[in-house]
Amino acid sequence: MKRIAEGRTAEIFQENHESVIKLYRSGFPKEAIIYEYEITKQVASLGISVPRVNQLVEMEGRVGINFEYIEGKPLLQKMAEHPQELDDFSEVLADMHVTLHRCEVPSDERGKPFRKQKEVLAHNIHQAPQLSTDEKHAILQILEALPNGNRVCHGDFHPDNAMVGEKRWIIDWMTGMIGHPAGDIARTLLLFRYGTLPEAAPSHVKDQLQALRDRMGHVYLNYYLAHSNLQMDEIDSWMLPVAAARLTEWIPEEEKEQLRSVIRERLKLK
């Protein structure tokens, strides 16, 4: 089988014209893979455009999911290939997010399998080793006061998880949950602002890339605000808990440091 992509957690192999296998690295927690399998099916049943899920598979001791093969490219790749169309692709990204957030989770499905955004964030904030007990307490109180929301949220929405071709598809649902769109957008904005750039890149290249990402974030946000009823201050109120929760992820020290200073600054302003 031909390997067509590689991420931090998995490799993607093309099985044939119709299917791919997303094969997780060995030792990756099986519950998380089963969650991705179940949640992807669930969001498909709500009418969200995702690759069809075929079955769970096991290969050479590794667990994987067999998905429908998608004839398309991630928006990130489109942006790299056609940088002059960066603004258009950033608007497509925002449009996909607006469309996703229109989808309400029906009340009989609000228990399993959907995880709840505020519970997921609170769990991660509790785990963050870089925060003091007082800091955690203050952030958890702020989180507690935020609205719950009943929309489908992706939890990791960025241009590599949005694919376009004749149609548009959102992929990579392991972090999918029910929640408030403002929290989902706050995460996308934090990724544009602080998500780590390739370690090896020289600093002037990093500066140029950062300028492009700031531009994408700006166009994405303006489009989203213009096409929804959300206000910027609603999104802003999620930045602190979302940044704190990200500290528990596998991200480089440099990004953790930046997130910690954002968190400290915001706590001071409270």
Please count the other Cβ atoms lying within 10 Å of the Cβ belonging to residue 25.
Answer: 12
State which residue, 51 or 155, has the beta carbon closest to ligand ADP: 51
CB within 8 Å of 27: residues ≥ 6 apart: none
State which residue, 66 or 161, has the beta carbon closest to Mg ion: 161
Residue 28 lies near ligand ADP (rule: CB under 6 A): no
Sign of the dihedral defined by the CA atoms of residues 32, 188, 172, 60, in that order: negative
Nearest-angstrom CA–CA distance, 187 and 226 = 19
Shortest spacing between CB 264 and Mg ion, in angstroms = 30
Which residue from 13, 51, 170, 179 is in contact with ligand ADP, where contact means CB under 6 A?
Answer: 51
Residue 75 lies near ligand ADP (rule: CB under 6 A): no
Shortest spacing between CB 148 and ligand ADP, in angstroms = 27
One symbol per residue from 129 to 168: x for binding Mg ion (CB under 5 A), - otherwise; what is it? --------------------------------x-------
- In the block, which residue shows the tokens 């398309």? 72
Please count the other Cβ atoms lying within 10 Å of the Cβ belonging to residue 47.
Answer: 9
Nearest-angstrom CA–CA distance, 78 and 60 = 34
DSSP of 149-162, one letter per residue?
A: --EEE-SS--TTSE
Shortest spacing between CB 174 and ligand ADP, in angstroms = 7
CB of 156 closer than 8 Å to CB of 184: no
One symbol per residue from 130 to 169: x for binding ligand ADP (CB under 6 A), - otherwise; what is it? ------------------------------xx--------
Which residue from 36, 91, 172, 184 is in contact with Mg ion, where contact means CB under 5 A?
Answer: 172
CB of 75 closer than 8 Å to CB of 164: yes
State which residue, 172 or 255, has the beta carbon closest to Mg ion: 172
Residue 219 binds: one of ligand ADP, Mg ion, none (C-beta under 5 to 8 A by kind): none
Tokens of 125: 């904030």
Q: Which residues bind ligand ADP (CB under 6 A)?
A: 5, 7-10, 12, 20, 22, 51, 67-70, 74, 160-161, 171-172
